[in-house]
């Protein structure tokens, strides 16, 4: 980001006029915001969703090792409730009761 700021200024640009930039979550990119004091950092929502899906899948895999009832339930947890098959929609409340106690997931609508 330092190099970008330098090139911008060499070509007549003003870093103070940069009001928004999008960056990866990699720390050096986020640290680059220091060069653009008036800028707000925007993180791509698809990147956030990707990270959330990875986290859900990692927890599911870890839990599946100790709770065999979770095997083959990945897509039930990841799908939007409206897109569940009839059987998946019927299975979800039972899965929640058995595997989600104490996590507040019962409040999430099923259909």
Tell me the DSSP string of the chain: -HHHHHHHHHTT--GGG--EEE--S-HHHHHGGGG-TT-EEE--HHHHHHHHHHHHHHHHHHHHHH-GGGTT-HHHHHS-GGGS-HHHHHHHHHHHHHH-TTTTGGGS---
pTM given for the model: 0.48
Q: Looking at the predicted structure, is the pLDDT value of residue 83 above 90? A: yes
One domain for residues 94 and 52 = yes
How large is the average pLDDT for residues 93-99?
A: 80
Q: Looking at the predicted structure, is the pLDDT value of residue 106 above 50? A: no
Number of domains in the chain: 2
Q: Looking at the predicted structure, is the pLDDT value of residue 99 above 80? A: no
One domain for residues 79 and 54 = yes
One domain for residues 96 and 70 = yes
Q: What range defines the domain where residue 81 resides? A: 45-102
One domain for residues 19 and 61 = no
């Amino acid at each position: 980001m330092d190099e970008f700021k330098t090139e911008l200024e060499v070509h007549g640009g003003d870093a103070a006029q940069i009001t928004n930039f999008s960056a990866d979550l990699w720390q050096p990119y986020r640290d680059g915001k220091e060069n653009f004091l008036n800028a707000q950092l925007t993180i791509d929502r698809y990147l956030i969703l990707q990270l959330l899906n990875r986290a859900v899948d990692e927890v599911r895999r870890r839990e599946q090792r100790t709770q065999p009832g979770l095997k083959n339930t990945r897509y039930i947890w990841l799908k939007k409730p409206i897109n569940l098959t009839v059987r998946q929609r019927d299975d979800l409340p039972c899965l929640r009761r058995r595997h989600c106690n104490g996590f507040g997931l019962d409040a999430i609508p099923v259909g």
